Amino acid sequence: MTWTEPSIWYANLPAFHAAAAGFITDPEGNILLVKPNYNDRWTFPGGYVEEGEYPHLACARELREELGVALAVKDLLVVDWAPPAGQRLRSLVSFTFDCGNIADRHGFDLPGQELDDAAFFSPQEAEQNLPENVAPRVRAAMRARARRAPVYLAGGSATAGDTTR
């Protein structure tokens, strides 16, 4: 094996995108989703991690921007690695953090230029409203919250090492 200059070695490593989202429930266990106006599907509140930003701080920033509230970003619940798809030419690692319980959504200040709505859904309804590759994060986040240990998904699927399904 030949030695490679570190700047060359790092420049040749694969690059990927990162996103961070908040898993928020109401006291009955319903899950908060937001409806972007640029997409026909619901999603978890959150967004892309900016350069130099830690994922948990990106989650907090996105929640402030999307919901108009400051919430505590707690435990990491789910990491989901997704391969390139469609127009996204790089892999995407999605971090889902536990952001606790909220009694209702009436205190939210949704940015009209980005979001049309926010609503709580039962776990089953949340899975139906989310894109197929994101829906598994609902059950994974619920498992992770219950056992207080994060769950790793690969492209929305449990990995061989996850025997808690």
| Structure confidence at residue 162 (pLDDT) | 53
Inside any domain, residue 40: yes
- Which tens digits make up the pLDDT trace of 9-30? 888 888 889 999 999 999 999 9
Inside any domain, residue 38: yes
DSSP string covering 118-153, please?
EEEE-HHHHHHHS-TTTTHHHHHHHHHHHHTS-EEE
Inside any domain, residue 10: no
Structure tokens at 63: 């929640």
What is the domain-level CATH number for residue 24? 3.90.79.10
What is the extent of the structural domain holding 63? Answer: 17-158
Indicate whether 47 pLDDT > 60.
Answer: yes
Indicate the SS3 state at residue 78.
strand
Inside any domain, residue 6: no
